[in-house]
């Protein structure tokens, strides 16, 4: 029956107004009984750009690094990270140790900025805009640091097959440490703002609960999985690069509260803890960074020749801010493009738990619940609502949904 | 649950599947300055033993994590690799397990595994629309990423005549589609 409804609903997609805080379009179809959500369905594909196809039919592997960087505007370190690992694995190239450390540092910087971005969006979704501005102000510090280290705020172009393209020198350490100290000093303040505020607690405690069993069955990964008590983190379980030299522990909410509920509040805890953890990892990397070259093969033409001759397959797995990114490549000798390229972004699996976490919630809870997964396509700018009791369908746009959410916060707070 | 070594896992597949087992290998490499080992496993099975193999993985790990199904067009056959990870949650213990199965182009059918792993649904739907492999018994066979107006019977990842129609490919001015 739901299948039937969603089929009709497909014709009501208008690519809606895009909200500056959200990234990509995705559509949800919710079946509601009055205010309560009884079923939900997710539609993806509005921004499918055929990137894998380009990597298999047009680009050589070095060109594909830049394509991999553009899969996502936020995860533009972990996608090329995983991609170059997969190609290195297939072609038998080992990056020098110094490059591994620089890779880890940039990946952790990305985690800090992504989690803070998310925290701001989450505050905005419940209508707490002062916290939204404050969090994004705090985030500027890491953006400046990223620009200082890589030369760019967004696409950093740090990765090359067999190493990295830019060094982090001793002279840069004081500036990096200054930013890290800033985050260490402000951590308690952030924790207080997000975890002790009554309104935030009311809007997030017991909202969008995902049990451990459901998380395991629906393959939920990353902070959303860890918030449900699944201690799965690639940096801990199957460490790659510089992470293999460190003892990383997967963050779970019971480290702060003693229990695992698996709700939105727990997802906030996990992400805050990971910001702190990322700062510590960068410090450790700076301390232990070995000297040496940055690239296994500095000459691009020679590298390209090696890659064209390479035969084999490889898997690259990296822990992105949202969960595990997996790239699979297959290379055939004499072929300039990749024979197969398959990308798995964390949101791909995390979206499968959306119907589970939305069931039983109210429409006003949709923005924060959906955003709590930090979906890479968090633009719920069009949601189709089917009122089962009244037997009618209507399309709620993002602004309307956001207004409902803000009203709920005001009601609770007054 | 007791955690087996990579070689013991391959032996257990051989024992469990008998004739259905085609081959297996362990890939190891050193990572980082401390030279810890990064391990992954590759197991190939016959199509007839495929579901038994997935069931066996569910015995090795209560809830195996299925990352993705990758598919390659090898000419006369299509190769599917189910990328599992097992033994997660412990420092340096996790193993990647690629379960490989080859299907002849004359019979592109594979049974669903959503009864073992409900979260396999997205990747099965994607394999179906992108590679044209029919997933038998899939609970929801709608398209996942492709738009409704994409032609029926054309599959973007195929490299034969069933690939995307040439008139759909747009290239830079002055170039020919590859």
Contacts of residue A408, defined as CB under 8 A and 6 or more positions apart, other chains included, come to A126, A203, A362, A364, A365
pLDDT in tens, B10-69: 999 999 999 999 999 998 888 888 888 888 899 999 999 999 999 999 999 999 999 999
Same-domain check for residues A260 and A117:
yes
Q: Which of B32, B89, B144 lies at the smallest CB-CB distance from A244?
A: B32
CB contacts, 8 Å: A242 with chain B: 32-33
Q: Which of B62, B68, B164 lies at the smallest CB-CB distance from A326?
A: B68
Q: How far apart are CA A70 and CA B72, in angstroms?
A: 23
Q: How far apart are CA B82 and CA B117, in angstroms?
A: 12
Interface test with B, best of A340, A347, A348, A377 (most B CBs within 10 A): A340
Contacts of residue A232, defined as CB under 8 A and 6 or more positions apart, other chains included, come to A221, A225, A226, A250, A324, B65, B88, B89
Cβ within 8 Å, pair B65-A219:
yes
Last residue of a domain, one of A347, A369, A390: A347
**In the predicted structure, residue B8 carries a pLDDT above the cut 50:** yes
Write out A368-410 in H/E/C secondary structure: HHHHCCCCCCCEEEEEEEEECCCCEEEEEEHHHHHHHHHHHHH
Same-domain check for residues A65 and A176:
yes
Domain that holds residue A165: 51-347
Domain count, chain A: 2
Interface test with B, best of A217, A292, A312, A342 (most B CBs within 10 A): A342
pLDDT confidence of residue A7: 43
Residue B177 pLDDT class (50, 70, 90 cuts):
low
Tokens of A151: 């030369």
Domain that holds residue B88: 6-159
CATH code assigned at A191: 1.10.645.10
C-alpha radius of gyration, chain B, whole number: 19
Cβ within 8 Å, pair A218-B92:
no
Tokens of B28: 């190891």
Mean of the pLDDT values across residues A349-362?
86
Last residue of a domain, one of A321, A347, A373: A347
CA distance A130 to chain B (A): 37
Cβ within 8 Å, pair A218-B143:
no
Q: How far apart are CA A360 and CA A35, in angstroms?
A: 9
**Is the CB of residue B132 less than 8 Å from the CB of residue B107?**
no
CA distance B47 to chain A (A): 21
Same-domain check for residues A130 and A194:
yes
List the single residue in B with minimal CA-CA distance to A53. Answer: B157
List the single residue in A with minimal CA-CA distance to B95. Answer: A238
Same-domain check for residues A146 and A11:
no
CATH code assigned at B18: 3.30.460.80
Torsion of CA A220, A5, B131, A64, to 10 degrees: -60
**Is the CB of residue A236 less than 8 Å from the CB of residue A244?**
no
Nearest to A408 by CA among A52, A126, A129, A167: A126
List the single residue in B with minimal CA-CA distance to A93. Answer: B29
B167 found inside a domain: no
Residue A104 pLDDT class (50, 70, 90 cuts):
very high
Return the residue matching tokens 């290195």: A88
Last residue of a domain, one of A320, A347, A374: A347
Cβ atoms within 10 Å of A174's Cβ, excluding its own: 8
pLDDT confidence of residue A392: 53
Interface test with A, best of B32, B81, B90, B172 (most A CBs within 10 A): B32
Same-domain check for residues A212 and A276:
yes
Residue with the bigger pLDDT between B145 and A123: it is A123
* Percentage above 70 pLDDT, chain B: 97
Put simply, whether B170 touches A (Cβ < 8 Å) is no
Gap between the terminal Cα atoms of chain B: 51
Same-domain check for residues A257 and A295:
yes
Same-domain check for residues A145 and A9:
no
Tokens of A209: 């609960």
pLDDT confidence of residue A95: 94
Contacts of residue A262, defined as CB under 8 A and 6 or more positions apart, other chains included, come to A209, A210, A211, A212, A215, A227, A228, A229
Same-domain check for residues A251 and A370:
no
B170 found inside a domain: no
CB contacts, 8 Å: A346 with chain B: none
Mean of the pLDDT values across residues A56-70?
89
C-alpha radius of gyration, chain A, whole number: 22
Q: How far apart are CA A275 and CA A114, in angstroms?
A: 9
B78 found inside a domain: yes
B contact residues 126-145, partner A, Cβ 8 Å cutoff: 140, 142-145
pTM: 0.89
Same-domain check for residues A124 and A135:
yes
Put simply, whether B63 touches A (Cβ < 8 Å) is yes
Cβ within 8 Å, pair B66-A45:
no
List the single residue in B with minimal CA-CA distance to A236. Answer: B91
Domain count, chain B: 1
pLDDT in tens, A164-220: 999 999 999 999 999 999 999 999 999 999 999 999 999 999 999 999 999 999 999
Same-domain check for residues A157 and A99:
yes
Q: Give φ, ψ of B52 to 5 degrees.
A: -65, -35
Put simply, whether B3 touches A (Cβ < 8 Å) is no
Same-domain check for residues A189 and A233:
yes
B166 found inside a domain: no
> In whole numbers, what is the pLDDT of chain A averaged over residues?
84
Mean of the pLDDT values across residues A129-138?
93
Q: DSSP character for A294?
A: S
DSSP tally for chain A: helices H, then strands E: 18, 9
Of the listed ranges A140-144, A370-374, B7-11, the least confidently predicted one is A370-374
CA distance B56 to chain A (A): 17
Q: DSSP character for B139?
A: S
In this structure, the strands spanning B95-104 and B65-73 are unpaired
Same-domain check for residues A357 and A281:
no
């Amino acid at each position: 029956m739901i299948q039937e409804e969603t089929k009709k609903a497909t014709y009501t997609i208008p690519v809606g107004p895009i909200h500056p805080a959200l990234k990509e379009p995705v559509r949800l179809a919710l079946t509601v009984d009055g205010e309560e959500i009884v079923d939900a369905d997710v539609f993806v594909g509005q921004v499918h750009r055929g990137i894998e196809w380009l990597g298999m039919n047009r680009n050589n592997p070095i060109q594909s690094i830049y394509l991999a960087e553009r899969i996502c505007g936020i995860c533009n370190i972990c996608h090329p990270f995983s991609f170059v690992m997969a190609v290195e694995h297939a072609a038998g190239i080992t990056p020098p140790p110094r490059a591994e450390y620089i890779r880890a540092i940039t990946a952790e910087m990305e985690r800090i900025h992504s989690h803070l971005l998310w925290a701001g969006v989450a505050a905005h979704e419940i209508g707490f805009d002062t916290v939204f501005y404050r969090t994004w102000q705090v985030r500027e510090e890491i953006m400046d640091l990223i620009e200082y280290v890589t030369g760019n705020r967004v696409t950093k172009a740090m990765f090359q097959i067999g190493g990295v393209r830019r060094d982090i020198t001793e002279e840069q350490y004081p500036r990096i440490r200054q930013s890290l100290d800033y985050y260490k000093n402000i951590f308690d303040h952030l924790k207080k703002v997000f975890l002790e505020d009554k309104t935030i607690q009311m809007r997030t405690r017991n909202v969008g609960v995902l049990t451990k069993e459901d998380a395991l069955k629906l393959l939920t990964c990353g902070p959303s999985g860890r918030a449900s008590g699944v201690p799965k983190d690639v940096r801990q379980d199957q460490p790659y690069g510089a992470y293999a030299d460190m003892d990383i522990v997967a963050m779970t909410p019971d480290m702060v509260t003693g229990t695992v509920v698996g709700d939105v509040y727990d997802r906030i805890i996990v992400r805050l803890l990971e910001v702190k953890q990322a700062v510590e990892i960068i410090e450790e990397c700076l301390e232990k960074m070995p000297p040496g070259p940055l690239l296994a093969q500095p000459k691009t033409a020679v590298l390209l020749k090696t890659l064209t001759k390479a035969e084999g397959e490889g898997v690259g797995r990296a822990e992105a801010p949202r969960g595990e990114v997996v790239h699979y490549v297959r290379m055939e000798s004499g072929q300039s493009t990749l024979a197969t390229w398959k990308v798995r972004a964390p949101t791909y699996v995390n979206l499968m738990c959306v119907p589970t976490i939305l069931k039983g919630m109210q429409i006003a809870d949709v923005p924060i619940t959906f955003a709590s997964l930090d979906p890479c396509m968090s633009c719920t700018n069009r949601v189709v609502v089917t009122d089962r009791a009244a037997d009618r369908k209507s399309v709620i746009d993002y602004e309307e949904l956001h207004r409902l959410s803000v009203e709920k916060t005001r009601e609770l707070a007054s | 649950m007791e955690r087996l070594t990579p070689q013991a896992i391959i032996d257990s597949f051989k024992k469990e599947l008998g004739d259905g087992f085609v081959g297996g290998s362990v890939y190891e490499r050193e990572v980082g300055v401390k030279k810890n080992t990064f391990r992954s496993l590759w197991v190939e099975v016959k199509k007839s033993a495929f579901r038994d193999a997935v069931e066996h993985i569910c015995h090795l790990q209560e809830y195996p994590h299925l990352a993705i199904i990758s598919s390659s067009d090898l000419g006369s056959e299509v190769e599917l690799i189910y990328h599992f990870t097992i033994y997660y949650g412990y420092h340096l213990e996790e193993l990647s397990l690629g379960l490989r199965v080859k299907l002849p182009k004359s019979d592109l059918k594979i049974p669903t595994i959503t009864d073992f792993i409900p979260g396999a649904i997205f990747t099965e739907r994607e394999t179906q629309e992108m590679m044209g492999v029919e997933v038998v018994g899939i609970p929801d066979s709608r398209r996942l990423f492709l738009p409704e107006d994409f032609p029926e019977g054309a599959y973007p990842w195929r490299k034969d005549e069933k690939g995307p129609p040439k008139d759909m490919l747009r290239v830079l001015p002055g170039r020919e589609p590859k």
